[in-house]
Amino acid sequence: MANHKSSLKRIRANAAKRLRNRYQAKTTRNAIKKLRGSTTKADATPLLAKVISMLDRLAKKNVIHKNKASNNKSKLTKFVNNLK
């Protein structure tokens, strides 16, 4: 157990940040699944913009690695461009 006041605060802050990061990452994963499930380009195009924004935000905050975000954006863009 932590002995210092600042370390107790750090534990609380880390727990709050961990919850927020997990929520944002899970929301993004669900949005990606929804995008992959779309069948028409008209449905997928607005979703793609939202997902790319989410991925950029997660990468900026170091929740996911920047290369993983780039890789996902590239694959999803290819997927949407190949839809009819």
Q: Average the pLDDT over 18-31 and give the result.
A: 98
DSSP string, the chain: ---SHHHHHHHHHHHHHHHHHHHHHHHHHHHHHHHHH--SHHHHHHHHHHHHHHHHHHHHTTSS-HHHHHHHHHHHHHHHHT--
**What token pair was written down for 23?**
């929520």
Q: Average the pLDDT over 57-78 and give the result.
A: 98
The tally of domains found in the chain comes to 1
pLDDT tens digits along 34-51: 999 999 999 999 999 999
Which residues span the domain enclosing 69? 5-81
pTM (2 decimals)? Answer: 0.88
Give percent of the chain above pLDDT 70. Answer: 100
Q: What span, in angstroms and rounded, lies between the C-alpha atoms of 17 and 54?
A: 17
Would you say residue 2 has pLDDT above 90?
Answer: no
What CATH code is carried by the domain that includes residue 13?
1.20.58.110
Would you say residue 25 has pLDDT above 90?
Answer: yes
